[in-house]
Amino acid sequence: MRKDERGQSLVETALVLPLLLLLIVGILDFGRITYSYAHLHMAAQETVRKGGLGKSDAEITAFARNYVHLGDSSKLIVEITPPGTTRKSGDYVKVKLKYPLKLYTPLLSKVFPSPLYAETDSTIRVE
């Protein structure tokens, strides 16, 4: 005696599809965060070079905002130490960049703080 199994694949799909979608969105979030961190790291290295060449804090900040292309550049937080008024040749200048990222994966957004900040810094000696 064989039972009717016409709805079996529909039930299996209904059970597996949410997990599969969650996995795909999680992979996309992880890739986006990894790309954002790598982009900010490169931006910090390029931005700190401006500080090493003796540029002002306003010029360094403007360069960072023009260089970073992760979305709204006004959300980029640029911290420069020491301030331009106290920098002199031979000192070290440090540029720290922070950018808020919104997570789209439902479970990850509950575990990690929202927004999650991608943060990187770089240091160079002033010429």
Q: Give residue-wise pLDDT tens across range 66-101.
A: 999 988 888 999 999 988 778 888 889 999 999 999
Is residue 50 pLDDT above 60, yes or no?
A: yes
Residue matched to tokens 């709805």 = 7
CA-closest candidate to residue 121, choices 89, 81, 85:
81
Asked if 92 contacts 16 with a C-beta cutoff of 8 angstroms, the reply is no
The full set of domain ranges for the chain reads 7-126
Residue 126 CB contacts under 8 Å (≥ 6 apart), including other chains: 51, 52, 54, 87, 88, 89, 90, 91, 92, 93
**Which strands, in side-by-side order, build the sheet including 92-101?**
77-81, 92-101, 116-125
Asked if 51 contacts 95 with a C-beta cutoff of 8 angstroms, the reply is yes
Q: What is the model's pTM?
A: 0.81
CA-closest candidate to residue 39, choices 50, 31, 27:
31
pLDDT at 2: 63
In this prediction, residue 115 has a pLDDT band, given cuts at 50, 70 and 90, of confident
Compute the mean pLDDT over every residue in the chain, rounded to the nearest whole number.
Answer: 89
CA-closest candidate to residue 121, choices 94, 91, 82:
94
Over residues 47-75, mean pLDDT: 91
Is residue 1 pLDDT above 60, yes or no?
A: no
